[in-house]
Amino acid sequence: MGLVLGGKAGAGLISLAYLVIATRALGPHDYGVLVLIHGYVTTVCGIVEFPACQAVVRYGAEARRDEATHRLARLLRFGARVELLGGLTAIVIAALCAPLIGPRLGWPETALVFSIPYSLAVLGSVRSTPAGYLQLINRFDLLGLHNLVQPLVRLTGAALAAVARWGLTGFLVAWLLAALAEFAVLWALGLWFAHRHLGRDLRYPEPGNAVADNPGIWRFLLISNADVTLSELAGRAVPLIVGWVLGPTAAGLFSVAQRATVLITQPAQILGDTAYPEMARMVAGGQGGSALRHTLVRVTGIALAASLPIIAIIWLFAPQIVRLIAGPEFAGATGLMVVLVLARALALAGPPATAALTALGRPGWSMSANLTANLLFLPIFPVLLNLQGLNGAGTQAMGQAATVSLLLLILTWKRSAQI
């Protein structure tokens, strides 16, 4: 967790630097368009893609326990094929739908033209198979370093675009190159270490079938991916709904307000990701539900402790923070920033509890919790925006976060008591 969080902390500082550049160079409207185009692509990717990370970690832990290198090699090849095919499908759908969605989100003509090639930014999220393998072999140092790739490329591109006055198109190019670099670097790392550890077995595994090797893997993949999609859907769809109802300027203000929430959610998400391999090993080793519950409580407590200083700083200095990172044009984001930070604090138990349920072989329970919260709050979100303006985003975030966390904790306790 420390290794990954170190990389995330560095990435967070770099992201603040390119945010300062982008908001001042583009202003609320064009920055909002940038947010909406990238948000549209990541939303399509989140719905269509088929990440294999959790399956690689769960079934890979069993293969490593049994020293079954050929089984592990077949699993990695299977995960790569499934994920890359899902990524290709997401690129095609994003490119085809962009001309239909863009005008309703207020994209100008130049952005509409570039939105089609920008669909390749989907690849920035198509990298869970190598990430899963690096988790499996405990190379969290490399995952931490990889977190710096995207923000470094964005920072370099943003600086060039601002100095050369390339406008919105220049920033879109920078964001696209950052996504492609994120994809290429992690796949290169994963392939390099898989080749080092598995050698010829990776290229020429013994005849066999990953589905037969790992009973229930398709069901596990379908349910775990549905859970990931539903758990991330609100975060990805909310900026698009804001842009749809209130326009690009409001989406730009929302994005700046949400920036502080990233600092809150990252410790919990990182802890969930790093604890998941350990939880999977606990279940595979038959250590029992009490050990898992103990780990969940510790992980959630660490996430809360890491977040409290950030919550206090934002609560006390929200206006100054908005002016510092975005300038006076974005002052309208101040109140919303405080509410969103509190909402994300309520959601801190979510990622660790989801990791525990997945390790327990019940990703469907986590999916049900996220589906319930989405069905409750996303349909009424446009109504809240029409009634409360941008403040409606804070109301939606608080309700959804509290609902998801409570449901996930109840379900985790129930399932862990059965083992």
Q: In the structure, what pLDDT confidence band is assigned to residue 2 with cuts at 50, 70 and 90?
A: low
């601002």: which residue's tokens? Answer: 162
Each residue of 177-235: pLDDT tens digit? 999 999 999 999 998 988 888 877 777 777 878 778 878 888 888 877 777 777 777 77
Is the sign of the CA dihedral 18, 23, 25, 31 positive or negative? Answer: positive
Say how far apart CA 409 and CA 392 lie, in whole Å: 26
Cβ(266)–Cβ(4) below 8 Å: no
pLDDT at residue 1 in the model: 60
CA neighbor of 409 nearest in space, from 369, 371, 363? 369
Q: In the structure, what pLDDT confidence band is assigned to residue 11 with cuts at 50, 70 and 90?
A: confident
- Whole-prediction pTM value? 0.81
Residue 106's φ and ψ, nearest 5 degrees, are 80, 25
For residue 65, count CB atoms less than 10 angstroms from its CB and return exposed for 0-12, middle for 13-18, buried for 19 or more. Answer: exposed
Residue 4 has pLDDT above 70, yes or no: no
Tokens of residue 191, six digits: 């392939």
Tokens of residue 107, six digits: 């994209």
Each residue of 115-159: pLDDT tens digit? 899 999 999 989 889 998 888 888 888 888 888 899 999 999 999
Per DSSP, 389 falls in state G
Report helix, strand or coil for 108: coil
Q: What is the mean pLDDT of residues 10-27?
A: 87
pLDDT at residue 318 in the model: 87
Largest CA distance in the chain: 63
pLDDT at residue 156 in the model: 96
Residue 298 has pLDDT above 90, yes or no: no
Domain ranges of the chain: 1-215, 233-419
